[in-house]
Amino acid sequence: MILVPLQCPFCGSEDVGKHGTVNGKQRYICHTLECSHRTFYTEYTYNACKSGVKSDIYKQSVNGSGVRAISRCLGISTDTVISELKKRKRHKSYQQGILSDAFHR
């Protein structure tokens, strides 16, 4: 048996511990101040929860892939893809609003 040290997906620290179970899945907690005790799982039920999926949605949409093609490639729902793209659009427009307010002052 080979033991692999568990790392926090947010900060990369190995200072993690068990933090109970939810629906039969083990939860872990990061003990660093940088993460301020964030919790995470090692295995996720849904593909959309895995790390890197959101950035893959944005990359594929910029490269001209449609919503259905993105959902097929990543194994997630079309509703999830649309929701993430809308969040990205709202975030961009919010940032542009802040920048335009700074220039008008």
Q: Which helix (H) or strand (E) holds 73?
A: helix 67-74
- 3-class SS at 98? helix
The span from the CA of 104 to the CA of 8, in Å, is 42
What confidence tier does 97 reach under pLDDT thresholds 50, 70, 90? low
Which residues face 26 on adjacent strands?
Answer: 21
The span from the CA of 61 to the CA of 63, in Å, is 5
pTM confidence score: 0.61
Taking only the tens place, the pLDDT of each residue in 47-87 is 787 778 888 999 999 899 999 999 999 999 999 999 989 98
- 3-class SS at 80? helix
Which whole number is the average pLDDT over 28-49? Answer: 86
Domain ranges of the chain: 9-43, 46-105
Query: Please, what is the Cα angle at 42 between 19 and 82, to 5 degrees?
Result: 115
Question: Is the CB of residue 36 less than 8 Å from the CB of residue 50?
Answer: no
Taking only the tens place, the pLDDT of each residue in 7-21 is 888 888 889 999 999
Q: Which helix (H) or strand (E) holds 18?
A: strand 16-22
